[in-house]
Structures are given as structure tokens and as C-alpha cells.
Amino acid sequence: MESVGSGSTLETSLAGSPLITVPEVMYSSGDISQAVEASVNDLICVMLGGWAMTRKTAFIYDEAMSRHQLRGDHPMRPVRLQHTFDLLSAYGAFDQNTSQLVPPRPACEEELSWFHTDEYIQAVKSFSHGLFEYDMNRFNFSTHGDNPAFLGMFEAAALSTGGTLVAAEMVAQKQVDVAFNISGGLHHAAPDHTSGFCVFNDPALAVMYFLSKGWKVAYVDIDAHHGDGVQNAFFDDPRVLTVSVHESGRFIFPGTGHADEVGKGSGLGYAVNLPLYPYTGDDIYLESFAEVVPPLLRAFAPDVLVTQLGIDTYHSDPLTHLQVTTRGYVEAVREFAKLANAGMPWLAMGGGGYDLSAVARGWTLAYGVMLDVEWPDALPASLVEQVGDGTLRDSTTPSIPDDVRLDARRYADDSVEQIKERVFPTHSL
């Protein structure tokens, strides 16, 4: 930016953009800082309202991601991925000149070993091939529990993980501005065992990939379940800000993610948890989100934004109780898009979601935000039966009793206050 003086013009050239000229204004020497600030604000306004909205996006998907089955009665049904892809295809999402449909690749064992132990990787391979050379219980697998071992498990988990790594590579190499792997976001897996339907922890691996590039990473998780595996991986690392907005562990799995979990050692103040009460609903959810997430992201100023966009916050999800609608979900995603609009690389992953219609509609809306496209509300006729619920966006809001809403408000306010007391000072807020 050129120096500012009497009658000067501020000009800023951004890669891939036209030269932006701020109108000529007369300034005294004492007003130079205000002039610079004003010009930057004008530039941001241009970015948010014009060319920056045509960001390049990648959607990572192949039908192979949706073919496996954990168990016939298991709530995690990979067919939800196919339903999402079908809905996006029907809306013409991949006909957009800014949208790329990119196939995944399997993560190799070396990549998996960045986070997972070699013994665990070999155990997963063994169970995947129908061999039981290892004790399943030792690695938290079982026949009828949350984490069943199934044929083809290693291949399915490696492909999902590889999809996230492909997305991370494309973002890091500036091939795209945003990349979305709906098959990823498996945030519970630990280095040496499975947990919460998650075999390999692709979000942790993606964060490690960006760290290897020397990047500072913000990881924001809006799944209804606390992102414990990712938090634990970086609990003492100030290069990574982990933020999880979730239903309180007092009420659902994994029982963690309380507001007093704020990191340790040099990472103290870099783990953030916003636990919420059952039946919180859109308004309280969004108000609490706005008080915590945007200010922390601005203060931390990461080099890349990594988000887990679980849609199990939805009001009819069979495993959770937050009572969020498509409106609440999409508004949260829009906050991430604001950073992308300002030039921040953005890697997004799917995550939880056990109402098939909500998953397809929610992730379709999320990808629309990434593309800056408003899909028609009427569902494509060919998919009405498959997707259900009549319209893309919710037309009604769940009714929450006043006394429950009051409890939810108090709980959210307390969580926010604890974050402001325990975390904000670390970031000069």
C-alpha cells in the first residue's frame, strides 16, 4: 500500500483480482492511521460484496465412500453420503464453474501413523480382513457396541481419511479456496483405539499436515458431540486453537468438553469448549456461538481454518437433543464463510448426523454457502421420496417449553462467561 498524503490515492492489488482504488481524500498527517484503517475497511467491503465470493471449491466424493456398513442396526449409515451427493447433483452443484468434484485416495499407513500407533493400524487391518490376531476389546472394538469391527473396515476408513488429506493438500497448494469432505470429521478416534463410530481421526491428521507446513491452525467443531480426539491431540500446543460447540457431556457421549477444559502447559488457553444444554434451540445457540467463536478466530488469526460440520445438532436427530434447525446450522456455517471471503483457506469435513434427511439437506446447504449459491427451497422431484421433509430448509421451528428454554439460557450464559474468564485473556480479549 502506498503512503498516504494530501490528495493521494490508496491502491491495493490482490492476487487474481482487479486493482482496487479507494477514492481520493485529503488527510492531515495526524489522520494517516485513520486513512489506512478506512481504506482497509473499504477493501474488505469490496471483498465481501464482489469478486471474493467467487472462491474456488472442491467437493471430495466417490460412491465407494458410501458402500460399507458398520452393522445393520447401527445409527451411522454411510448411505447418507450418497444421499447428499445425489441432492447436490440434482441442484447442479457440480456444474458450477467454481466447483470441482474430486475423488478421494486411500490414506497410506505412513500418513495414518502421524497420529495412530502402528499396532492399532495393524489391528484395524486384521479385523478388516476377518482375522482376529488381536484382542478387539483392547482397541475398543466389539460385535454389538458402538464400534463394531466389520469386513473392509480398514479400506473404508483409509479412504475417508485420504479424502480429508486430499482436501488439505488442495487447500495448502492453493488449488482451491475451500474443500469439503463429507465423509470425514471422525473426531473421536484416539491414537490407539476406536471411539464414537470413528476408526481413524482424519481431522487430527489434517491439522498435523498443516502444522508440517508451518501453518497456525484453527479447528472449529460444531458437531453435537464434543471433539475430544482432536482436542486431546493438541491440548498443549499453542499452534492449534481447538473450539468445540456441542451438547454438554453431562448429557451425552463422550462426557467431556466442559468449559474448564482449556488446554495445558504452553497450550493453556488454546482449547475452547462451549457446552450447551439439551433443547437449546437456534437463537440461544447462535447467540452463544457469536459471543465466542468469531472473536477468538479474529484474535488467533490462523493461517488456515479447519471445521467439522456435524449435523447431529438437528432437532430430529435420534442421538442428540440440541433442537437446532437448518437455519441455525447454516448461520453458523456462514460465519466460517466470512473468513474464507476474506482470503482464509478453509478445509471442511462432515461428521455426525443420524437423521438421513437432515444430513443430506444440511450438507447441501453448507456446500451452497461455500459456493455462495442459494439452492431453491423446493426439493428436486426425483429426490423428494429419498430426502423427505418436503423442502430443503426447515419451514417450522421446534417448540421448546419456557422453563426448558430458561434453563438452556442460563447454561449457555454460564459456559460463555467461563470461556471469557478462562480463555479470552490469553488472546487479549
pLDDT tops 50 at residue 32? no
**pLDDT in the model for residue 388:** 81
Residues 254 and 393 in one domain: yes
Q: Is residue 133 in a domain?
A: no
Question: Among 83, 188, 193, 225, which one carries the catalytic annotation?
Answer: 188
What CATH number is associated with residue 323?
A: 3.40.800.20
pLDDT tops 80 at residue 47? no
Domain span at residue 20? 1-54
Residues 164 and 43 in one domain: no
Residues 91 and 232 in one domain: yes
| Arithmetic mean of pLDDT over the chain | 89
Measured CA to CA in angstroms, residue 175 lies from 31, 212, 353, 356 at distances of: 40, 18, 29, 31
- Report the sign of the C-alpha dihedral through residues 126, 127, 128, 130, in that order: positive
Residue among 198, 208, 274 at smallest CA distance from 240: 208
Residues 167 and 38 in one domain: no
Q: Are 221 and 252 in contact (CB under 8 A)?
A: no
pLDDT tops 90 at residue 171? yes
Residues 196 and 344 in one domain: yes
Residues 77 and 220 in one domain: yes
Total domains present in the chain? 2
Q: Is residue 295 in a domain?
A: yes
Average pLDDT (109-117) is 98
Between these two residues, 229 and 144, which has the higher pLDDT value? 229
pLDDT tops 50 at residue 5? no
Residue located via cell numbers 490508496: 10
**pLDDT in the model for residue 292:** 98
- Tell me the percentage of the chain whose pLDDT exceeds 90: 83
| Three-state SS sequence of the chain | CCCCCCCCCEEECCCCCCCEEECCCCCCHHHHHHHHHHHHHHHHHHHHHCHHHHCCEEEECCHHHHCCCCCCCCCCCCHHHHHHHHHHHHCCHHHCCCEEEECCCCCCHHHHCCCCCHHHHHHHHHHHCCCCCCCHHHHCCECCCCCECCCCHHHHHHHHHHHHHHHHHHHHCCCCCEEEECCCCCCCCECCECECCECCCHHHHHHHHHHHCCCCEEEEECCCCCCHHHHHHCCCCCCEEEEEEEECCCCCCCCCCCCCCCCCHHHCCCEEEEEECCCCHHHHHHHHHHHHHHHHHHHHCCCEEEEECCCCCECCCCCCCCCECHHHHHHHHHHHHHHHHCCCCEEEECCCCCCHHHHHHHHHHHHHHHHCCCCCCECCHHHHHHHCCCECCCCCCCCCCHHHHHHHHHHHHHHHHHHHHHCHHHHCC
**pLDDT in the model for residue 419:** 98
Residues 77 and 15 in one domain: no
Residues 43 and 74 in one domain: no
For the record, the C-alpha cell of 184 comes out as 470425514
- Residue ending a domain, choose from 15, 36, 54: 54
Q: Tell me if residue 188 is catalytic.
A: yes
Average pLDDT (223-233) is 98
At 281-327, the pLDDT tens digits run 999 999 999 999 999 999 999 999 999 999 999 999 999 999 999 99
Worst-scoring range by mean pLDDT, 4-13, 194-203, 367-376?
Answer: 4-13
* Residue 364 pLDDT class (50, 70, 90 cuts): very high
**pLDDT in the model for residue 385:** 87
Residues 180 and 270 in one domain: yes
User: Mean pLDDT: which of 44-48, 131-135, 263-267, 396-400 is highest?
Assistant: 263-267
pLDDT tops 80 at residue 50? no
**pLDDT in the model for residue 193:** 98
Residues 168 and 32 in one domain: no
Average pLDDT (115-135) is 96
* Residue 255 pLDDT class (50, 70, 90 cuts): very high
Average pLDDT (9-25) is 29
At 318-359, the pLDDT tens digits run 999 999 999 999 999 999 999 999 999 999 999 999 999 999
- Tell me the percentage of the chain whose pLDDT exceeds 70: 88
Residues 49 and 168 in one domain: no
**pLDDT in the model for residue 53:** 54
Q: Is residue 113 in a domain?
A: no
Worst-scoring range by mean pLDDT, 93-97, 178-182, 241-245?
Answer: 93-97
**pLDDT in the model for residue 177:** 98
Residues 176 and 300 in one domain: yes
Average pLDDT (154-166) is 98
* Residue 7 pLDDT class (50, 70, 90 cuts): very low
Distance between terminal CA atoms of the chain? 28
**pLDDT in the model for residue 43:** 36
Q: Is residue 382 in a domain?
A: yes
- Residue ending a domain, choose from 38, 54, 70: 54
Average pLDDT (259-283) is 98
pLDDT tops 50 at residue 51? no
Q: Is residue 114 in a domain?
A: no
pLDDT tops 60 at residue 12? no
Give Cβ neighbours of residue 61 (< 8 Å, ≥ 6 apart): 81, 85, 101, 102, 103, 104, 163, 181, 182, 183
Q: Is residue 352 in a domain?
A: yes
Exposed/middle/buried for 154, CB within 10 Å: 0-12, 13-18, 19+? buried
* Residue 132 pLDDT class (50, 70, 90 cuts): confident
**pLDDT in the model for residue 143:** 87
Cα separation, 121 vs 155, in Å, equals: 11
Q: Is residue 87 in a domain?
A: yes
Q: Is residue 124 in a domain?
A: no
